[in-house]
Structure 1
Amino acid sequence: MTAHATSCDWTAEQPAPKPSRIKSLFAALMHEIEVRRALRHVSSLDDAMLHDIGLTPGNIEDAVRCGRH
């Protein structure tokens, strides 16, 4: 028998790795890009269309960033 004992390390539960700061920064950047794209899209609607969906030009950003209250 060899000096190395075989064990099932792959079956032991490993804690999930923490997301790196770069991944978190990239995710935040991608989220902001999506929000700004949605802001441009909703801002292009006319007042009648905004009224139909329950928005005014003054609360577009809040609605896009925070959703319905």
Structure 2
Amino acid sequence: MSPPMYTAIPATTDRAYWQMKTDDATRSLQVFVPIYPDLHQQLKAEAWKASQTRLAKKVKSLPPLDVEQSGHF
């Protein structure tokens, strides 16, 4: 069975993407793990690139420092 098509990491309510894992020793710790780890890694990488691109657009670069007019150097 091939993994379903996703363009972003879905909420943990999506049972086609996530499965719940319980700690065998304590039987109390429950975490959500992706059913398709390779797909999850790909989506994480794409989300990281998109967030870095958005941050780069928000950060304005400073104008070049005019050393001669500043008087500090």
The TM-score normalised by the length of structure 2 is 0.36
More strand by share: 2
More helix by share: 1
> RCO (CA 8 Å, sep 6+): is it higher in 1 or 2?
1
